Structure 1
Amino acid sequence: MAKVKITQVKSSIGSTKRQKATLAALGLKKLNVPVEHEATPQIVGMVNKLRHLISVEEVK
């Protein structure tokens, strides 16, 4: 399965509680600190909900 590197690039101030909870579930705590996850359907769904706050890169 492919891995993805997810980085929060925009602040969560003004986001809904649900979006903040999704950021926490992905392990994103601070801006510009990347985390790596397997590209499972659950992770891809979370990324799609937060695409305005994060950047995603595929890791080989």
Structure 2
Amino acid sequence: MTTEKKLTVTLVRSPIGTKESHRATVRGLGLRGINSKSELQDTPAVRGMINKISYLVKVL
């Protein structure tokens, strides 16, 4: 019985005007517009992506 940890990520700032790689990271996390939410597995790769765009998102 494995309980996978989940992270809920919410886009709170617009990626307009940010680096192209940061915009690509936002899309890679499955986020579209402001206040869109995405539930992701808690993996090192996802944590790294969140860390890269931490100024744009809120994590619950």
Aligned to 2:55: 52
1:23-50 deviation per Cα after TM superposition (whole angstroms, max 9, x unaligned): 0100001110111000100000000001
Q: Distance in 2 between matches of 1:11 and 1:24?
A: 12
Does 2:46 align with 1:40? no
Query: Higher relative CO (CA 8 A, sep ≥ 6), structure 1 or 2?
Result: 1
Q: CA RMSD in A?
A: 0.6
Q: Say which one has the larger Rg.
A: 2
SS at match of 1:37: strand
Q: How many positions carry a matched residue from both structures?
A: 57
Structure 2 unaligned residues grouped into runs of 5+: none
Q: Distance in 2 between matches of 1:50 and 1:27?
A: 13
Counterpart of 1:26, as a letter, is L
Normalised by the length of structure 2, the TM-score is 0.91
- Please report how far the alpha carbon of residue 2 of structure 1 lies from its aligned counterpart in structure 2 after TM superposition: 1.1
Runs (4 or more) in structure 1 with deviation over 3 Å come to none
